[in-house]
Amino acid sequence: MTTLTITAKGQITLKRELLQHLALRPGDKVEVTPAPGGRLTLAPQRIARTGRIEDAFGALHRPGQKALSIEEMNEVIARAWAGEVEP
């Protein structure tokens, strides 16, 4: 059993062996669910792999970054092929 300490901000840090057990890396997310008896269950949040292209939509989104239209993407690609811009 591992004991964790709660910080003044109400945060905990999982020990390396727990992260390895759950196969978690920096940036991964976990789901925490209340359980009977004042317990919590913690599980890695897994991305559904259905094999559909729609599942990838938004995966590369960066807040504050403008999305390009297909026409804008084609223009950038054409300019790069023509040597007008660095790829």
What is the CATH topology of the domain spanning 1-47? Pemi-like Protein 1; Chain: D (2.10.260)
At which residue do the structure tokens 């559909």 appear? 52
The answer to whether 12 and 4 have CB atoms below 8 angstroms apart is yes
Bridge partners of 33, per DSSP, are: 41
The distance from CA 44 to its chain's CA centroid, rounded to whole angstroms, is 11
For the chain, give the percent of residues with pLDDT over 90.
38
Is pTM beyond 0.75? Reply is no
pLDDT in tens, 40-68: 998 888 765 566 777 677 777 777 888 88
Alpha-carbon span 12 to 3, nearest angstrom: 10
- Residue boundaries of the structural domains of the chain: 1-47
Backbone angles phi, psi at 48, to 5 degrees: -65, 130
Q: What pLDDT, on the 0 to 100 scale, is given for residue 26? A: 84
Q: What pLDDT, on the 0 to 100 scale, is given for residue 67? A: 81
* Higher-confidence position of 76 and 49: 76
Q: What pLDDT, on the 0 to 100 scale, is given for residue 34? A: 93
